[in-house]
Structure 1
Amino acid sequence: MPDSSNYFSILQITDPHILATPEATLLGVNTAYYFNAVLEHAINSYRNFDLCLITGDLAQDPCPASYQYILRRLQAHTIPCLCLPGNHDDFEIMQEVLCTEKVNCRKQMVLGNWQIISLNSQMQGSEVGYLSVEELAFLERSLRDSPNFYALIAVHHHCLLTGSLWMDAMMIENAQELFALINRFPNVKAIINGHIHQAMDVQVNSVRILATPSTCFQFKPQSERFSLDDSSPGYRWINLYTDGSMDSGVVRLPEQLTGLRTDMEGY
């Protein structure tokens, strides 16, 4: 059993899809309201988080105002936050706005004997994920140069099939290259992602693959085409222990999602 007194705790929130104004809605949902509700629920829980990871699609309208809203909400708390881009984001604007000491787009952070590595899976002009030569080289260098650190990798797009045909057409195109790389480094313990708007917890060899519900609307699992699920928004907590083990779970808001237009065929 891991020593429960000796760990680092991470909050993962993902896919808030913030619009240009806090009153605006997407598929009938006020995404700003639920982003704030999820964040406050997590912060006011009994857990003391050492780091918040926001794993992409921060904005649906990727303009300075949407990222400034996120920045204001995050700066109201004391937790350091790392933000990485999703297919809906404008990464240049993200990096301009989310560039404070506490809230930023850094690609690497150390927590004790763990390193957190953020990868950019965004492919310009496409909803499909892809890890460029540069991103894979950065990952390899980070793992090679820190052999005594356990590693958690954060990325937006998913690297495993979900069973939803329409969603799996947008996964990381070169996921096999990612797995071939990390298979050379046994200290990689987990990959976490957003994008799929649902929970996933799968073990692949010694690596745990985790996905997390969106802070707004969810996608219906095992769907052939775009389909929405009225499950409540949520977040994930992850405890990283000094012996390389980890615990994780998903928490959903106690309130029901309201306003969702389940008759929509896309967004």
Structure 2
Amino acid sequence: MPIAIIVPTLEEVDNIVPLVEQIEQTNVPFGEIIFVDDGSIDGTREKIRALATAHRVCLIERDGPERGLAGAIIAGANASSADVFVVMDADLSHPPEEIASLLQPVLANDADLVIGSRYVPGGATPDWPAWRRFLSRVASALAYPLTGVHDSMGGFFAIRREFLLRFAKQAAGFKIVFETIVRGRKTLRVREVPIVFRDRARGMSKMSFAQAMRFALAWLRAIGRRLTEGKTSAPPVPAQRLFRD
């Protein structure tokens, strides 16, 4: 089953090489790493192009007004013929060594979407300040009645092509996992596996307190819209949690 890894990027020049190296060290049988860049001017694109000469790497450049995380992921999927996608951040906060754990239930046909979860036993956010951990926990808890998962805000997941393109095309920004689960709640088999989410070691963080507050408010509005749309008449079945011994 062909596998592609989609990595949205914005000003990540220092992380591209170590990310590719760490993905390749996992021995996951992926066909390509698809970087989808939204207007970087720090040399990110040049770094990716250089890697593409000797690695299974390709670059999609997006410079128009319609940019953002969800759109980047869909653009990457549309550019690939893979049957399964892994989506992850470029800053190494999502551990490449857990890619195989995300893929295993999908490849075994036990799941359609597998989320790398910070909030199931074994998951953690050890580098976060208390305010960020609190906001994230509250937002995830508020979304639980709609999703049945503990971490619908995460951006590290594996998904079958058909479900990504069917349920996520209308998603906006950071809400792609949330929207995919809500739209596919009647048919989508969802699992969670624990990950340890670590803050970036290179480059500048894009998440200040003010940005986190804007993020949280947007998230609450998204949840509120879903609640008022009358989508909750049949609660979702909680996602199966896959714990480690």
TM-score normalised by length of structure 1: 0.31
When normalised by structure 2's length, the TM-score is 0.33
Higher helix share: 2
